[in-house]
Structure 1
Amino acid sequence: MSPDDGSAAPGVAATGSHDDAFVTEDQETTRSSSSSQAGAAPAPDPTRSAAGGLVVAVDGPGGSGKSTVSRQIARQLRLRYLDTGAMYRAITQVALDRRIDIEDPVAVAEVAERTVLTIGTDPDQSTIHVDGVNLDEQIRTRAVTNAVSAIAAVPAVRARLVAQQREIIAESLAAGGIVVEGRDIGSVVAPEAPVKVFLTASTEVRALRRSRQLGEKGVDDVARTLAELDRRDALDSSRTVDPLSIPEGAIVLDSSTLSVSEVVDEVMRRSEHLLAPAP
């Protein structure tokens, strides 16, 4: 992909090389409008490519452990890794920095149109840059977490980011493949991915994980985080455009009482006929 001049799809993917406590997606580290709703022609699903690579789609709500699990699968299979949630968070951070009304879809869409995202796909050091500035730390704040669902609900934002995500997937297939995590990967971004995983966990467990990630330990802190997770779950699941849902054919795992290695082992066991390490 060529550098973005503001008129092309934002960003480029940097090539990537190739724990037992769960960390939330917001520490390690969601959707696209269907192209028809965004006014664009449907983009081809990159997993239909004959490039020979493997696409693993991992979906689930915040705190389910999908970032940690996705990274570990990518390392184990020597694949690239894409955190799509970071892309929505980056747009959210830019909107907040510019004091854009996040409830104004036109203003939010303009921010996404003009923002250049550069994505690193190394599972050991995935990065995201906005207009050349690294935002890995800034996008993990509570403020971004609480605002990102509104940004991700804007059809134009979702269509633009999904187009870029599909470009990254298509490029990665030639290099062996990629593990992609988010909230609509198996249902929208790459519905033909041969391996689809949906991770979940109880809200209480997810709240504890998120609070640990934020460095909070108090009962009131966890209660606040739990309420925020409930709110985001409701927004993401009831959204009219590409809501959070279990993709057809996905391996569904509850990580509430499982370690990272146990989740990864179960994914491998149930997908051993497809999950072949790159040569």
Structure 2
Amino acid sequence: MSYNIAIDGPAGAGKSTIAKQLAKKLGYVYVDTGAMYRAIALYLLREKVKPDDTEAVSNTCTGAEVTLIYQNGEQAVLLNGENVNGFIRTEEVGNMASRASAVPAVRERLLQLQRDLASSENVIMDGRDIGTCVLPNADVKIFLTANSAVRAKRRYEELLAKGTPEAFEKIEKDIIERDARDRNREIAPLRQAEDAYLVDTSDMDIPQVVDTILEICRQKGCR
């Protein structure tokens, strides 16, 4: 029987970083649902679909085949057979993903793959609605957050390190706007599940966050 850990939270809270480290420590499969949505967003951008054209998003997303594989111990996101890890972490793709994820056809396209993985493997899955919608029966649910300034600073430093810097003010503005979209969308809005543990990382470093969640998992019988 598989064991599932769901990590939800707003953009820039550190979900992917924390989930990857937890997966390594526990020997679980890490499922980056955000990367899957970003892959579809990249496809929509390449097809020159406007983010507010819901009908075009619905019709066009059917041409995107998104799969996850592991190469040399690292997760690779394949879009129609192409490894797109190097293309999906831009602000443009992130904003398109936020809009596209509210479209039912996009969500339905990815939901079954995510649930199939969770039913067959011990997984750590992160996203916006894992504990509330994708894996409502997850064994452990975490809601990871931080204030917008902290999240913007982290994103700024990440982009700077990659050689693709953005203005801090623009990054924070985008984060605040994305939070509002994610919380107010009709389908699967961002919210903390009733049985999720709230972990605010504003004043915590990565090892502290990992240790905090590991302790929660141990208390919940994680194996």
TM-score w.r.t. the length of structure 2 is: 0.93
The structure having more radius of gyration, on CA atoms, is 1
For residues 23 and 198 of structure 2, the distance between their equivalents in structure 1, rounded to whole angstroms, comes to 19
Percent of residue pairs bearing the same amino acid type: 36
For residues 91 and 22 of structure 2, the distance between their equivalents in structure 1, rounded to whole angstroms, comes to 27
Instruction: Name the amino acid aligned to 1:139.
Output: I
The RMSD of aligned alpha carbons is 1.9
Match of 1:180 among 96, 119, 125: 125
Pairs aligned (count):
221
Match of 1:221 among 155, 167, 170: 167
Are positions 1:155 and 2:104 aligned together?
Answer: yes
- TM-superposed CA distance for 1:53, in Å, is 1.6
**SS of match in other structure, 2:167:** helix
Q: CA 1:246/1:271 → structure 2, altered by over 3 Å: closer, same or farther?
A: same
Match of 1:265 among 190, 203, 211: 211
**SS of match in other structure, 1:67:** helix
The residue aligned with 1:13 is none
For residues 47 and 8 of structure 2, the distance between their equivalents in structure 1, rounded to whole angstroms, comes to 30
Are positions 1:104 and 2:53 aligned together?
Answer: yes
- TM-superposed CA distance for 1:150, in Å, is 1.2
For residues 210 and 265 of structure 1, the distance between their equivalents in structure 2, rounded to whole angstroms, comes to 22
Is the 1:203–1:229 Cα contact (8 Å) retained in structure 2? yes
For residues 71 and 207 of structure 2, the distance between their equivalents in structure 1, rounded to whole angstroms, comes to 20
For residues 60 and 72 of structure 2, the distance between their equivalents in structure 1, rounded to whole angstroms, comes to 28
Is the 2:2–2:119 Cα contact (8 Å) retained in structure 1? no
The residue aligned with 2:119 is 170
For residues 257 and 136 of structure 1, the distance between their equivalents in structure 2, rounded to whole angstroms, comes to 29
Are positions 1:274 and 2:220 aligned together?
Answer: yes
More helix by share: 2
- TM-superposed CA distance for 1:246, in Å, is 0.3
**SS of match in other structure, 1:197:** strand
Q: Note the residue ranges of structure 2 that are not aligned, 5 or more in a row.
A: none
The residue aligned with 2:201 is 255
Q: Deviations over 1:151-188 (max 9, x none)?
A: 1110111122112211121232xxxx010000000000
Is the 1:268–1:275 Cα contact (8 Å) retained in structure 2? no
Is the 1:91–1:111 Cα contact (8 Å) retained in structure 2? no
Are positions 1:130 and 2:79 aligned together?
Answer: yes
Runs of 4+ in 1 over 2 A off after TM superposition: 120-124, 273-277
Are positions 1:211 and 2:160 aligned together?
Answer: no
Is the 1:196–1:249 Cα contact (8 Å) retained in structure 2? yes
TM-score w.r.t. the length of structure 1 is: 0.75
The residue aligned with 1:84 is 33
